[in-house]
Amino acid sequence: MGSSFFLSCQETGYDEEKFLLLIRRIAECLARRRKLPPQEVYDCGSEAVLLVLEQLREGETPCLQPQNWIKFVVKVVRNFQRRYQSRTKHEVLLDEGKEELLQLPDTAPTPEAALERKCTESLLYKAIEENLDDSLQAIFLAHFVEHVPLKELAALAGTTPDALCHRLQRARLRVRAWLERHGWDGEIP
């Protein structure tokens, strides 16, 4: 990293390792939300970190425009998902006769329960997608799904924890209202 990165980050309290970990967590959270398989989620997080490091080497700093990093990570995840879908679309399926049947453990959810959970998740993500802009979606998911501390997210977004807390509360109320209008009958987040 260039010395300008360290100087500007020291002044604003950024820690490079924590910043890159936060980038990974946000990317992985968004990748899971887009229903990528676990290995692809990990790879997407790694790619986001590598692309951010590349940007840092070119002179960009997370301290000058931190909210732009969230937008950057959203774009990385979208591009990763497109490449994954293109790659899997053209894969050859295994012959059914060669596949072994897997025995589900007794603790596995019933198909009905699994379907209900998927429907619930789908409705929740639709509410988030329709009511929040991309950067707020990333922050919302990082905080409420990944449990990233508000202080870390506020530093990344370039705002105070109190201001971000108020934004998240308003976002949560918008999501909750949308869910209630669309017949949500479960626990409201």
Q: Note the pLDDT tens digit of each residue in 9-19.
A: 555 566 778 87
pLDDT at 1: 38
18-38 pLDDT, tens digit per residue, is 878 888 888 888 888 888 888
User: Which has more confidence, 44 or 61?
Assistant: 44
Task: Please check the confidence at residue 109 and state whether its pLDDT lies above 80.
Answer: no
Over the stretch 45-76, which tens digit does the pLDDT of each residue have?
888 888 888 877 877 665 556 667 777 888 88
What string of H, E and C letters represents the secondary structure of 145-170?
CCCCCHHHHHHHHCCCHHHHHHHHHH
Residue 134 CA to residue 118 CA, distance in Å, equals 22
Q: What is the Cα–Cα distance from 65 to 14, expressed in whole angstroms? A: 13
The beta strand positions in 50-93, using DSSP E, are none
**Amino acid residing at 5:** F
